[in-house]
């Protein structure tokens, strides 16, 4: 009982205090809110260290026991160790080595992965109707193709202006509806956590 009750109680009380600190212009509630947020930040940082420790726990046995993909695991751990050491030992994220690694390794690598994702999405779009023959699929493909054609304006602004105004209006209206749904979901999720209905912090 106490395994889930105490964490739930703490989470509920802290959530109420932070929410009241946001809503009510009471100085003490504001200070409590600021302190609780800082404590959560510290816990988040500690969670980051725990996550790094979990990565080591998974990949180190794979390296020492020479299991499958032990070379990939060794590359991961070496890279993380080097960057961590550089960040700690050098001037921080603005250091020359860090900046060099970022510009020469991280940015090109992630850009390549993003480009690969784009190509994969195009191929999947090409086979969408073969696997799922539905009007919604056809509309989706058509709209996607149209946006790709008009995303970068060509040197024919008159025609492009009409299309862009139409697309802009439709997109704006759709996004507003999505944003309203997102906000409502956020409010509901927050209340469920504050009231203890959902207990993501207790693992249940």
Partner 1 sequence: MIRCPTCGMLNQDNSKSCSNCGTILPQTKVRCPECGTLNSVGNLLCDNCNARLIQPEGIIPSNLPTESDNRAEGSPVKGISLPTRATANDSDVPHAGEDELPDWLSGLTEDSEEFSETAGSPAEEPGDDEADSSSGHPDWLSGLLDENADFGAADEPDEAEHKTEDELTFESDALPDWFVGEAAPDNEPTPDSADDSLYELPDWLLATADTSDTPAEASETPDLPDWLTALSEATPTETPVDSELPEWLAEAQAPITDADTNIVLDAETQPATPEPPIQPSAEPQLSADLPDWLSAVDDSEESSNIELPDWLREPAETPVPDLSAQPHGDAAGASEEEIAVSTAEEAAPREAVVSEVGEVAPTDTPERPAISPASPEPQPADLPAWLAGLEVSTTAPGGVAIFADDNKRPEKLTAQSEENPSQLEDIKPTTEASQYEPAEPPLIQGDTGIDWEEKLTFSEDTPAEIPDWLRGLDISEPKEPQAPSGIFGENMPAPAELPNWLQELRPQSSPATLFGVSNEPVNADIPDWLQALRPEPGEASGAAARLAGLPTPAEPEGPLQGVPGVLQAAALIDAPAGVKTVAKTAMPESVIAQAQLWQSLLERPRSAERPVSQAQPPNEAAVTLIRLLVAAIFILGSLGAFLLLPEGLRLATALPAQVAPGAPALIEGLDALQPGDRVIVAVEYGMAYAEEMSQIAMPVLQQLTAQQAEITIVSTLPEGAALGAALTAEAELLAAEAEVQPGPAQLDGGYLAGNASGISAFLSQPDAQAAHHILVLASRPERLRWWIEQVQLAYGSAPTPVSLSVGVSASAGPIVAPYLRTLQIQGWLVGLPDALAYRELRGVEDVNSAARTLDVLMLAHWAAGGLLVIGLLVSLVAGKKGARQSHA
16 near partner 1, rule: CB under 8 A: no
Tokens (6 digits) for 139: 């509309």
Question: CA–CA separation, 82 vs 99, rounded Å?
Answer: 13
Question: CA–CA separation, 106 vs 84, rounded Å?
Answer: 14
Give the per-residue contact string, 30-59, with partner 1 (x = CB under 8 A; - = no).
x---x--xx-xx--xx--------------
User: In the bound complex, what is the minimum distance in angstroms from residue 114's beta carbon to partner 1?
Assistant: 4
Q: Mutual orientation of helices 27-64 and 70-89 as an angle, nearest 10°?
A: 140
Please report, as residue ranges, which positions from 138 to 177 form the binding site for partner 1 (by CB under 8 A): 138, 141-142, 144-146, 148-149, 151-155, 157, 161, 164-165, 167-168, 171-172, 175-176
Q: Mutual orientation of helices 157-194 and 2-23 as an angle, nearest 10°?
A: 130
Q: Of the ranges 5-13, 50-58, 65-73, 88-96, which one interacts with partner 1 (CB under 8 A)?
A: 88-96
| 3 vs 161, beta carbon nearer partner 1 | 161
User: In the bound complex, what is the minimum distance in angstroms from residue 36's beta carbon to partner 1?
Assistant: 9
Whether 75 and 109 have beta carbons less than 8 Å apart is answered as: no
125 near partner 1, rule: CB under 8 A: yes
92: left (phi over 0), alpha (psi -120 to 50) or beta: left
Q: Is 187 exposed, middle or buried (0-12, 13-18, 19+ CB in 10 A)?
A: exposed
Give the chain's largest Cα–Cα span: 69
| List of residues contacting partner 1 (CB under 8 A) | 18, 22, 30, 34, 37-38, 40-41, 44-45, 92-94, 98-99, 102-103, 106-107, 109-111, 113-114, 118-119, 122-123, 125-130, 133, 138, 141-142, 144-146, 148-149, 151-155, 157, 161, 164-165, 167-168, 171-172, 175-176, 178-179
């Amino acid at each position: 009982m106490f395994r889930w009750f105490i964490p739930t109680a703490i989470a509920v009380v802290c959530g109420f205090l932070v929410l009241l600190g946001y809503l009510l212009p009471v100085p003490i509630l504001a200070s409590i809110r600021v302190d609780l947020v800082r404590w959560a930040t510290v816990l988040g940082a500690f969670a980051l260290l725990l996550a790094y420790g979990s990565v080591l726990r998974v990949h180190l046995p794979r390296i020492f026991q020479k299991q499958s993909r032990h070379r990939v695991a060794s590359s991961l751990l070496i890279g993380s160790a080097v960057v961590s050491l550089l960040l700690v030992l050098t001037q921080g994220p603005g250091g020359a080595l860090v900046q060099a690694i970022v510009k020469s390794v991280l940015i090109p690598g992630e850009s390549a992965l993003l480009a690969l994702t784009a190509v994969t999405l195009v191929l999947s779009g090409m086979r969408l109707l073969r696997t799922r023959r539905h009007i919604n699929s056809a509309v989706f493909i058509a709209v996607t193709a149209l946006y790709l054609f008009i995303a970068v304006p060509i040197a024919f602004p008159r025609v492009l202006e009409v299309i862009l105004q139409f697309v802009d209006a439709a997109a704006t209206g759709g996004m507003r509806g999505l944003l309203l749904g997102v906000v409502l979901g956020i409010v509901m999720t927050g209340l469920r956590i504050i009231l203890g209905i959902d207990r993501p912090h207790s693992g249940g």
